[in-house]
Copies of this chain bind each other. A is one copy, B any other.
Amino acid sequence: MALIVKKFGGSSVKDAKHVFNVAEIVVEDYKKGNDIIVVVSAQGDTTDDLIAKAVEINAATPLKREMDMLMTAGEQISISLLAMAIDKLGCPVISLLGWQAGFSTDSHHTKARIKKINTERMKTELSKGNIIVVAGFQGLNKYDDLTTLGRGGSDTSAVAIAAAMSADRCQIYTDVDGVYTADPRKVKGAVKMDEVQYDEMLEMATLGAQVLNNRSVEMAKKYNVELEVLSSLERKPGTIVKEHVKMEKTLIRGVAKDTSVTTISVVGLKDQPGVAFKLFNKLAQYKVNVDIILQSVGRHGTKDITFTVSHEQMDDAIKAMESMKGVFAYQDLKVNNGLSKISIVGAGMESNPGVASKMFEALYDADINIHMISTSETKISVLIDTELSDKAVQAVHDAFIG
């Protein structure tokens, strides 16, 4: 008998028919003799409806504590409906809100961090033979106020429960049936992987192949929780994410694309010590996450610094740079939204110098110009024009995998 944690997102429980589909998956595994804890998000429509209600009251600055109060009602609805459906299928079941399942968080409303899970109630309910349905995305702070975990919160809830309860596996159900070497809707020859390492998965997520939320993969790695990414619509194995995977012939695990890239060039900075430090310190103050950084020598004893941020942080990055004008001079700020990042990912890549040149050759053969390059132990990324990005992914995939 195994303890399995299963997580279903908002689209998997969007209406009664989908709720029963989830209930059937759960009941099937329960009847095989497993203990089951199910984590669900709010129904897709509910989330949208609740946000619309808040916007009607205060579009700009609704109280964050009250946003958490509002949004947590969403999972409360979905867990009770799923529990009713599982009961209708004849299995003992109980739904638990985040706080009832023992989730203690800090007090950062709308993006709280889990501090501790008190597993007592969940253990009691399992010992009674109950299937447990837990509201994802939510917890309680030390003031007894409801909090939410921010983006990807339900994945995080599921992995945290799997870690705290020492579950045998944490299954994340999605609308795809596993992790592919590239986006299968766009790349011919994309292959589903049976297994992938945590680090590879992290790079894939960072690079725009967002099957799993990064925070949950990091947590899974930290607590050594075996993840499985699989489809809620088909009954077949997905992709296992774990520490050690069996080596396969191909070195490269996947090709990923991220179209949400803005490059910002600060042109004509004085070439003196501390400029780069002050610049990136200022960006940190504005909470801007910088990805790729390039520094080059400009004309007349100046230098240029170019960096990339996500589209959504572009405005903050520009504000940060404009606030620097009093601190040190620069001649110009150039912003480009038209680039995409194409990356290849694979653990052990660093010990194989031919990989980078093979990637660049594939792009050259496809007549694609590279604007910036960035490398790490497990990935190589290039910036290219967005309109060529699909072609670039296919070319690189063909070279390494297809």
Which residues of A are interface residues toward B (Cβ below 8 A)? Answer: 15-16, 19-20, 50, 53-54, 56-58, 62-63, 65-67, 69-70, 72-74, 76-77, 79-81, 83-85, 87-88, 93-95, 97, 100, 121, 144-146
Secondary structure of the A contact surface, majority rule: helix
Report Cα–Cα, A80/B77, bound state, in Å: 16
Q: How far, in Å, is A288 (CB) from chain B's closest CB? A: 28
Q: Which residues of B contact A85 (CB under 8 A)?
A: 57-58
Report Cα–Cα, A54/B87, bound state, in Å: 12
Do the beta carbons of A83 and B69 come within 8 Å of each other?
Answer: yes
Do the beta carbons of A144 and B100 come within 8 Å of each other?
Answer: yes
- Which of B62, B83, B145 makes the CB contact (< 8 A) with A63? B83
Q: How far, in Å, is A24 (CB) from chain B's closest CB? A: 13
Q: Which residues of B contact A56 (CB under 8 A)?
A: 15-16
Q: How far, in Å, is A107 (CB) from chain B's closest CB? A: 14
Do the beta carbons of B94 and A65 come within 8 Å of each other?
Answer: yes
Do the beta carbons of A66 and B54 come within 8 Å of each other?
Answer: no
Do the beta carbons of B72 and A84 come within 8 Å of each other?
Answer: no
- Which of B81, B93, B145 makes the CB contact (< 8 A) with A57? B81
Q: List the 8 closest pairs (A to B, CB-CB), nearest first.
A: A70-B80, A69-B80, A16-B56, A73-B73, A73-B76, A66-B80, A57-B84, A66-B83
Q: Which residues of B contact A144 (CB under 8 A)?
A: 100, 121
Q: Which residues of B contact A72 (CB under 8 A)?
A: 76
Q: Which residues of B contact A145 (CB under 8 A)?
A: 100
Q: Which residues of B contact A54 (CB under 8 A)?
A: 80-81, 84
Q: Which residues of B contact A79 (CB under 8 A)?
A: 69
Q: Which residues of B contact A87 (CB under 8 A)?
A: 58, 62-63, 66
Q: Which residues of B contact A67 (CB under 8 A)?
A: 80
CB-based nearest B residue for A50: B77
- Contacts known (A58-B84, A73-B77); A53 close to B16, Cβ less than 8 A: yes
Report Cα–Cα, A87/B76, bound state, in Å: 25
Do the beta carbons of A76 and B83 come within 8 Å of each other?
Answer: no
Report Cα–Cα, A74/B67, bound state, in Å: 15
Max chain B CB contacts within 10 Å: which of A58, A84, A95, A145?
A: A84
CB-based nearest B residue for A144: B100
Q: Which residues of B contact A94 (CB under 8 A)?
A: 65
- Contacts known (A16-B53, A63-B83, A100-B144); A69 close to B58, Cβ less than 8 A: no
Q: How far, in Å, is A59 (CB) from chain B's closest CB? A: 10
Report Cα–Cα, A354/B66, bound state, in Å: 59
Report Cα–Cα, A83/B64, bound state, in Å: 11
Q: How far, in Å, is A145 (CB) from chain B's closest CB? A: 8
Do the beta carbons of B88 and A58 come within 8 Å of each other?
Answer: yes
Q: How far, in Å, is A124 (CB) from chain B's closest CB? A: 10
